[in-house]
Amino acid sequence: MSLWIISSAENTDTAVKLCECLASSLNFHDYRHVSHEDIMMTVTDGRLGLLVRPPASEDKDQKWVVRPFSPVAPPLLAHFRVGSDMMRADNQITLARQLHFMGARIVNSIESMLSTTNKVWHLQELAAAGIPVPNTATYSDMNIITQVGDRLSYPLVAKSVRGNQGNAVFLIPSAHCHDELKGVLAHDVPYLYQHYIEESRGTDCRVICVGGKAIYTMIRRAAPGAFRANLAQGGHGEIVTGQYPEAERLAERISHILKIDICGVDLLFSGTGFVVCEVNNNPGFSKDVYKHAGIEHFICQHLVTQLSEHPCFVPPAVAAAAEMAAAAAFCASDMEGQGASAHLAHMAPPLMSCVAERLSACSGAELSIQMLVGHPYGGSLQQPQLPMPSGEPPLMGHSCSSEGSAEAACCPDDRMEVTSMPMPMLGATMQQ
């Protein structure tokens, strides 16, 4: 499959919505939803590889049945739907790196996933770029945690640098409360402390950006008596897309600075304008308030667009043309047992690869492919001649004549021009 949607096995809501949107709204079926727990990475004789096992059965009696792994080809594009609280460099990022080095595009990029998984990292990057952020203090050694809070005035907000959905976020009204809280905080990762912005108490502005553009804006308000506005913490939202252009412009700027394709930007209200609270690389959209927002459509459209720009992506129409061209090339090279040659020109690498793949499955000939110097996908590249297994030519439903060419279908009455495609030139010679 060209596109993989990767999530955790226990949190599949948005991944499922994306898959449904790809199939129903975009009529795109070249995708696969897979849990990162079901993927094994290998390096065999210097070659990277992937193995995937079937998803776990919903039948409790079958839950512990061993599921065998099978080797699979890597996707051309992988989109991770994993929350920042679960994203780990030793786990999901390692998988993303494996896919990257096997030629896949990663959305969001590995760098942007790392920077937005840790709340301090992206605040550092944004502050360095001149984006307004709250006064913040944190630490690299928990032994100084007792002094960190002293750098800010109370009340202040304490957050785990890897929190998600408003979890592990505390409002600390005084130094006394801070002392009592220190002993119960989980310290597997550091906390950051921020100045509490009173003007934004219980309220924030969430802007979702896709492809660098703000596509959805919501004002979130906390439940009565609470200070966290996250919907997962009982808050409620009001859709205000287009009503806060200043917030949307700031969110777009932030997405460009972090070089992140898909994100949720949380902004706080202050007396001097909007201030960044945090950036989420895996914004949720499964709650009822998002039901008619169409966020999944924007994301899916962006993923398909990114996939189509991959140099190895072959659209279905191009694949069909490749079938025709491969048949024509086979016929042109197999006339009367002579060493005739077929020349395939003006084809993009995806089409040429398709033709070569079809020929390799049906021809006993040798194929030599040479990308011309100055090709936009790279410089001069000579692929060595490879023997191809013998077999039967593709069945096209027509007989082939000696007049056939690689630029057309087998039958002169059923020609399909491929040279008119606005694609870079590629030369190929097939010799018997």
155-186 pLDDT, tens digit each = 888 888 887 766 778 888 888 787 777 766 66
What are the φ and ψ backbone dihedral angles of 245, each rounded to 5 degrees?
A: -60, -30
pLDDT tens column, 321-330: 766 766 666 5
**Residue 237 pLDDT > 90, yes or no?**
no
Q: Tell me, what DSSP letter sits at residue 130?
A: T
Q: In whole numbers, what is the pLDDT of the chain averaged over residues?
A: 76
pLDDT at 135: 92
Tell me the C-alpha distance between 171 and 167, whole Å. Answer: 12
Interval 41-55 mean pLDDT? 95
pLDDT tens column, 57-112: 777 676 677 889 999 999 999 999 998 778 888 899 999 999 999 999 999 999 99
pLDDT at 327: 64
Is pTM beyond 0.75? Reply is: no
Confidence band of 221 (pLDDT split at 50, 70, 90): confident
Look up tokens 């080095």; give the residue. 101
Tell me the C-alpha distance between 123 and 116, whole Å. Answer: 9
What are the φ and ψ backbone dihedral angles of 43, each rounded to 5 degrees?
A: -130, 110
Listed range (7-11, 112-116, 133-137, 303-307) with the worst mean pLDDT: 7-11
Between these two residues, 179 and 26, which has the higher pLDDT value? 26
Question: By CB neighbour count within 10 A (0-12 exposed, 13-18 middle, 19+ buried), where does 217 fall?
Answer: buried
**Residue 247 pLDDT > 60, yes or no?**
yes
